A and B are shown apart, each in its own frame.
Chain A
């Protein structure tokens, strides 16, 4: 029935506008229903419209596929496009000849829709084109220089947009996807010829007059809006009621809300949240955010918020500008939070306050809460006690409200020594540094920024193996020489410089170990292991021939020897101990591949190197506990006390891999498992956040956001993940303090009892708290538990802090 409708609509539109031509572009594989939209003629990438020329490099079409997986795997999948026009496109590097039946010769109006729904500007990288343009009759009508800087501009599109209830959803999140260009052209022999370079061509319309063109554009936009409304029937929720006692005649309301509690444009402060004093407590040397909101009750064109310096005990002053980052939150639709990259439920389009931007003036419309985060880095030598800072809210330049911030500095520091390291797969951070026009300086800076972002928040680059950006070509770490069976590694003095550069950035003082993937490191050293990089093929007997099997034995022998040499080198240099990671999530390769990967555990044991493996299923759960020094499991394994027991029975370390990215998962739940470390891939899935970081389409798992200047910034979930890590550190510090037999027997007994209570309360298997049901979960910013909310976690943390304080004081 749907097909009939489209066919009728197409014919009707063509009849209605005799003096227009409309074309849309895409893959030749697109199914029939993707080829019909509002009278546009579908032109596949190999059509005669595209004229081959000397400079033709790439004319590649694509089309949406509903059956595809995550956008990481399939750039043509992800969220259902807003309309048919966005379901396909062509990256064009050719002349295009557009038939104009209504005008043989003479002036016409042309309108071009540029861009795409899925990958957008990163597609251009492949073409390696630096200058993109549309030319007609020798004149440039549209152009842009593609460079790392322009990539960031495109990626961070709408960075300056401040949410307003007055803007409809289509205008906010669909219209900005495409760039639209209008210009005058001249038809010759019934055709308009355009010269395109590096253009992501979505559609072109040609009309005989401006009036025809305006009518056409209005009709096209209406058709797109209608289709979007059918596909995404999202509606804003009504405003929540204001709590009793709020003076509605005031200029604004200030309130404090924990980061775990959502703020939507329709949110209102709850009872107990309205306050003039925003409070937080923190240990010395801890990082802790104050999160608060301003709800304007009157319209202000600009809303500004400022915090003064903190005045502490005995006249101490902590300068806010030196000890804190001040962020304002930007609304962005919740989007896809798992790695499927799909928006299939309308609540995912609810605007949520969570993208962090440097604090500055913004729109202060009445009734839309604006959230702020003052992220304080408490100095290690700060005096314990209460500190106060003034809070000033200005509307249109005038002070409309004042309040204060109260920081309680606790009389102890959190213990990092021996605590679990929290690490990321940081190699997925960025791809802008690969853009045309990049330089070694830009690439090096990109790598440095990833490390800075990680270490600034005291996470560990445990899998920042340096293979991103230009590391491979710019920073050679040594050379592997020799015949199979006799391969050796040599590290020249200039290679040592590269090691120093990498390690000084990625592994700050105190980091105990670093996870290294030899399959990629050896590539830097000039040797590409064959079987170890192709576990998936091992099950194919045609591929895993007797000769390859023999080569694999040599690969194991040579690889282990080289890792021994590198371990010794790293030890001499005082770098963290390498944990050699020779196979990630090996259940993906089936039993033969998993068994091949497991061979590495034995090979490394023979040479006395530390091995680590991240596992994700029953095959690895059987194969790895006895073989690897460190076995880190994800929820699909599954993560159980039995698994932990089987790993620890061999004296091996049990750790968490991709067990979730929420505060609770990173904190109390992680602590419950007693894992030695935590490896979460998704925080730096920044390069997958496509096509635009500030729009919900199609991939929103990353917690680190890019900035226009090429640096990274946290999102609110990043700060919450760090808070989770600190929840763990509070508990760890309490345990260490107890081990040291500090404090009175009564307080020690109280602390033991409380820890025992928590162990019973928290379930060991992280799946117990997963809101969405996926067998292999990488990121779950949705935790299914009413019990572990922002208020309760903060109170548990306070209880732990109070116990530590009492133990420390009563030695």
Chain B
């Protein structure tokens, strides 16, 4: 049995192969959506097939950076109208970055369009898609009418992947909406086993097991479950939702930490977790949320029969600490909880069934 297992481990190692180092950019990387050859000096590059386009991949300041410069086969057919995070950015002229831990089938997928809008998702166990996963990616791009090309660049923190062995597999694709054609380098999209593995270096002693962010307005607690993968204790210092945190994990320990995030109703917020160990960034995690109201008050119907009272469904999205105050006047009701008020206008009608 041991022989079998050893053979299997060997097979996995042979399969994943020896990785090239992911080059580190020499100069400072400025994410401005403007292309220059100098910007990408020293990066790994690859030419796409079927389209005059080049992908540039490198690392800098703890991030993986990608640039895709591509011809646009129909410049007057440019499509790039998404601006919101996780909107259907993939339907615009766009660039995709696929990332996986070598040998794993689960992967991360980040897409950016020329306007810098980002769609990111994680394909987890059994192919399930988590659009909730966010990458903290920043992107920018531009069209160049003279050369009839478009350019997209993005910066993704390496610590969101936190590769335990310092290696990641990448694949890059470029897509234009006018012909609905995507073309890829360093492997085949959605097939992690075909992607090229790079040595990204670094030390990532902690893995993120789960990350549950409350999207309710007010001060709410979020839950972060971390695992110390190594055989040394780890002290993590950093911030969560802008507030400082300091957590410790014993060797091999898995622990859930709680931390508050505070938002106002309707706020669109990127909640960020950033953790350092021994002065080095070891983990980042993000969730983009729109703060939902604490108080939800919806009338069953805003038409009531003459002989009945207004029925309101009231939900408080936290452990209720004070009563919801409901005031009813003819034609209008108000519901108040903490600093949130919902106004419900209603009208009165004769019932088709007469008086009960």
> Which of B86, B126, B303, B311 contacts A80, CB < 8 Å?
B126
Main secondary structure of the interface of B (DSSP, over half): loop
The answer to the question of B5 belonging to the interface, with a C-beta cut-off of 8 Å to chain A, is yes
The answer to the question of A789 belonging to the interface, with a C-beta cut-off of 8 Å to chain B, is yes
- State how many angstroms separate the Cβ of A686 from the closest Cβ of chain B: 26
A3 touches B178 (CB 8 A): no
With A4-B8, A67-B127 already in contact, the answer to whether A795 and B349 are too (CB < 8 A) is yes
B181 touches A617 (CB 8 A): no
Cβ contacts under 8 Å, B46 to chain A: none
The answer to the question of A775 belonging to the interface, with a C-beta cut-off of 8 Å to chain B, is yes
Using a Cβ–Cβ cut-off of 8 Å, how many residues does chain A contribute to the interface with B? 38
A592 touches B179 (CB 8 A): yes
- State how many angstroms separate the Cβ of B196 from the closest Cβ of chain A: 19
With A66-B127, A588-B180, A786-B313 already in contact, the answer to whether A775 and B301 are too (CB < 8 A) is no
> Which of A4, A231, A272, A798 contacts B349, CB < 8 Å?
A798
Cβ contacts under 8 Å, B123 to chain A: 66
Among the listed stretches B52-60, B74-82, B159-167, B275-283, which one makes contact with chain A, having 4 or more residues with CB under 8 Å of it? B74-82
Residues 78-116 of A contacting B (Cβ, < 8 Å): 80
A799 to B353, CA, bound (A): 13
A408 to B351, CA, bound (A): 12
Cβ contacts under 8 Å, A796 to chain B: 303
A589 touches B180 (CB 8 A): yes
A231 touches B126 (CB 8 A): yes
> Which of A11, A281, A590 contacts B181, CB < 8 Å?
A590
A214 to B270, CA, bound (A): 56
A792 touches B191 (CB 8 A): no
Cβ contacts under 8 Å, A530 to chain B: none
Cβ contacts under 8 Å, B310 to chain A: none
The answer to the question of B91 belonging to the interface, with a C-beta cut-off of 8 Å to chain A, is yes
With A8-B1, A67-B191 already in contact, the answer to whether A279 and B353 are too (CB < 8 A) is yes
A231 to B5, CA, bound (A): 26
Cβ contacts under 8 Å, A773 to chain B: 86, 131
The answer to the question of A619 belonging to the interface, with a C-beta cut-off of 8 Å to chain B, is yes
The answer to the question of B333 belonging to the interface, with a C-beta cut-off of 8 Å to chain A, is no
A636 to B88, CA, bound (A): 10
- State how many angstroms separate the Cβ of A208 from the closest Cβ of chain B: 25
Cβ contacts under 8 Å, B127 to chain A: 66-67, 80
A344 touches B129 (CB 8 A): yes
A798 to B303, CA, bound (A): 10
A240 to B351, CA, bound (A): 29
B303 touches A7 (CB 8 A): no
A281 touches B1 (CB 8 A): no
The answer to the question of B330 belonging to the interface, with a C-beta cut-off of 8 Å to chain A, is no
Binary A-proximity of B121-141 (CB < 8 A = 1, otherwise 0) = 001001111010000000000
With A591-B178, A591-B179 already in contact, the answer to whether A619 and B79 are too (CB < 8 A) is yes
A667 to B334, CA, bound (A): 29
A796 to B301, CA, bound (A): 9
With A7-B5, A618-B79, A618-B81 already in contact, the answer to whether A590 and B129 are too (CB < 8 A) is no
The answer to the question of A383 belonging to the interface, with a C-beta cut-off of 8 Å to chain B, is no
A775 touches B91 (CB 8 A): yes
Closest partner residue, chain B, to A281 (CB atom): B352
The answer to the question of A787 belonging to the interface, with a C-beta cut-off of 8 Å to chain B, is yes
A775 touches B88 (CB 8 A): yes
A4 to B177, CA, bound (A): 43
- State how many angstroms separate the Cβ of B180 from the closest Cβ of chain A: 4
Cβ contacts under 8 Å, A4 to chain B: 5, 8
The answer to the question of B190 belonging to the interface, with a C-beta cut-off of 8 Å to chain A, is yes
Binary B-proximity of A269-298 (CB < 8 A = 1, otherwise 0) = 000100000010100000000000000000
- State how many angstroms separate the Cβ of A152 from the closest Cβ of chain B: 32
Closest partner residue, chain B, to A67 (CB atom): B190
A801 to B126, CA, bound (A): 51
Cβ contacts under 8 Å, B12 to chain A: 3
The answer to the question of B350 belonging to the interface, with a C-beta cut-off of 8 Å to chain A, is yes
Cβ contacts under 8 Å, A11 to chain B: 1, 4
Cβ contacts under 8 Å, A408 to chain B: 352-353
> Which of B5, B8, B179 contacts A590, CB < 8 Å?
B179
With A589-B180, A590-B178, A591-B179 already in contact, the answer to whether A66 and B126 are too (CB < 8 A) is yes
Residues 286-326 of B contacting A (Cβ, < 8 Å): 296, 298-303, 311, 313
Cβ contacts under 8 Å, A789 to chain B: 300-301
A406 to B177, CA, bound (A): 57
- State how many angstroms separate the Cβ of A794 from the closest Cβ of chain B: 8
- State how many angstroms separate the Cβ of A281 from the closest Cβ of chain B: 5
B301 touches A795 (CB 8 A): yes
With A279-B353, A281-B352 already in contact, the answer to whether A619 and B298 are too (CB < 8 A) is no
A590 touches B180 (CB 8 A): yes
With A8-B1, A408-B352, A618-B79 already in contact, the answer to whether A539 and B179 are too (CB < 8 A) is yes
The answer to the question of A19 belonging to the interface, with a C-beta cut-off of 8 Å to chain B, is no
A127 to B86, CA, bound (A): 44
A80 to B181, CA, bound (A): 28
> Which of B8, B77, B131, B177 contacts A7, CB < 8 Å?
B8
A792 touches B8 (CB 8 A): no
Given A80-B128, A590-B178, A618-B81, 13 more A-B residue pairs with CB atoms under 8 Å apart are A4-B5, A11-B4, A66-B123, A66-B126, A67-B191, A406-B353, A590-B179, A592-B179, A786-B296, A792-B301, A792-B302, A799-B349, A802-B350
Q: List 29 A-B contacts (CB under 8 A).
A: A3-B8, A3-B12, A4-B8, A8-B5, A11-B1, A11-B4, A67-B127, A279-B352, A406-B353, A408-B352, A590-B180, A591-B178, A592-B178, A592-B179, A617-B91, A618-B177, A619-B79, A636-B88, A636-B91, A775-B88, A775-B91, A789-B300, A791-B300, A791-B301, A792-B299, A792-B300, A798-B349, A802-B349, A802-B350
Binding site for A on B (CB under 8 A): 1, 4-5, 8, 12, 74, 77, 79, 81, 86, 88, 91, 123, 126-129, 131, 177-181, 190-191, 296, 298-303, 311, 313, 349-350, 352-353
* In the A-B complex, the 9 residue pairs with the closest CB atoms: A66-B127, A775-B88, A792-B301, A591-B178, A786-B298, A795-B303, A590-B179, A591-B77, A590-B180
